[in-house]
Amino acid sequence: MTMNYASMLEAEKKTLTGELIRLGRHDLKTNTWEAAAETADPSELDPNTIADRFEDFEEKTAIIVPLEARLTQVESALAAIANGTFGICRVCSTKIEEARLSANPAAETCMEHLEA
């Protein structure tokens, strides 16, 4: 069971990390991802180009936030596999339904506690 989920989670982690690298950089001090801004000499740019770059930075930030959150979930699920707690609802400690794990291997709750 967990071997299949582990490979699914590892593949998702690789994809998420690749996407985060494409959009930004990882700050090791805070262990967070930040959007990468294009570097240029502001004196050589017109106001429209500066505005476009700022907009691009804001768009990247908006994409990075949910990707980083999902990466955290995936890493937590991989840690749960390693420590033997994978597939156990964090609310009621019952087994998470197989269908739920198949749809979302990083799920932390059973269907009953989906919104918890």
Neighbours of 77 (CB within 10 A): 26
In the predicted model, is pLDDT for residue 47 greater than 90?
Answer: no
Distance of CA 108 to the CA centre of its chain: 15
Taking 60 as the threshold, does the pLDDT of residue 34 lie above it?
Answer: yes
Confidence of residue 54 (pLDDT cuts 50, 70, 90): confident
Residue 77 near residue 105, CB atoms below 8 Å: yes
Contact (Cβ atoms closer than 8 angstroms) between residue 24 and residue 64: yes
> According to the model, what pLDDT value does residue 1 have?
45
Could you tell me the pTM of the whole model? 0.83
CA 27 from chain center: how many Å? 15
